[in-house]
Amino acid sequence: MRPGPPAWSQPSISLCRLWFVCASLPFAGCTYDVTLGSVKYALPAMSCGTWNSAGVRTTGGYFVGHSTDEPDDTLSYFVFDLSPIRGRKVTTAGLTIPGTSDWKFTVSAPGETPPLQFMLGVRPLPPSLTLTQVTDGSNDAHVFEDVQAEGDLGFAWDASGSITNTYGAFSYGTERFQDAVNAGGPYPMFAVQDYASTTTTEEYVFGGAVCNPGIVLSVTVE
């Protein structure tokens, strides 16, 4: 077997071009894996907001669950620009959401350690909805209902609402997110409460937050 080139050898033209593409993207960081031939993009949230079960929309913050101040079940949406990865084949994706100081878990999760945890799922845009409905609509309970009816792209358990966590976004129903990447452009992702959503006690994460710049959709493509 022929030995590989030394570490200081001149990089190939294709790698140089790829480095130039990564360096020239002002809104999406990316890294290149020479071994796998894949590129990982970090796409920051362009905007965010919430919808609750009463059909009320808010903008500029994120909140998932229900509390004394927010008694209606609530989900969050985050809009990302998929243009940098339009048409690429997705291999992995994860939604990173920073924690906040305002959170509360009250319902035990069977089999989980510690028992008080919050299950958060990531969901795609339902076929029945448009981006405009999500970001500009109001007084529409169907938005919350239709997102709740969707299956998760991935999920994770939170032992604390104050930590930054990354939730899988390409584990289930992968064709849905791949279709969105094929189309490119602005696309909303949703964070929902997957467990104990019907309890009467307080159960929520991300209370009182602004649209944090640390909200990032990381996508690896080929």
Do 48 and 60 touch, CB atoms closer than 8 A? yes
Do 166 and 94 touch, CB atoms closer than 8 A? yes
Per-residue pLDDT band for 32 (boundaries 50, 70, 90) equals: low
Residue 163 belongs to a domain: yes
pLDDT of 39 > 80? The answer is yes
pLDDT of 87 > 70? The answer is yes
Residue 134 DSSP SS3:
helix
Do 9 and 22 touch, CB atoms closer than 8 A? no
Per-residue pLDDT band for 89 (boundaries 50, 70, 90) equals: very high
pLDDT confidence of residue 200: 84
Do 88 and 181 touch, CB atoms closer than 8 A? yes
Do 105 and 207 touch, CB atoms closer than 8 A? no
Structural domain total, the chain: 1
Residue 51 belongs to a domain: yes
Q: What is the mean pLDDT of residues 5-24?
A: 39
Q: What is the mean pLDDT of residues 6-34?
A: 45
Residue 91 belongs to a domain: yes
pLDDT confidence of residue 25: 45
Range of the domain at 187: 44-221
The residue among 185, 147, 151 whose CA lies nearest residue 168 is 151
Per-residue pLDDT band for 35 (boundaries 50, 70, 90) equals: very low
- Express each pLDDT in 117-130 by its tens digit: 999 999 999 999 99
pLDDT confidence of residue 37: 78
CA dist 13 and 16 (Å) reads 5
pLDDT confidence of residue 88: 97
Residue 109 belongs to a domain: yes
Average pLDDT, the chain: 87
Residue 154 belongs to a domain: yes
pLDDT of 81 > 90? The answer is yes
- Express each pLDDT in 40-74 by its tens digit: 999 999 999 999 999 999 999 999 999 999 999 99
* pTM (2 d.p.): 0.84
Residue 136 belongs to a domain: yes
Residue 1 belongs to a domain: no
Residue 4 belongs to a domain: no
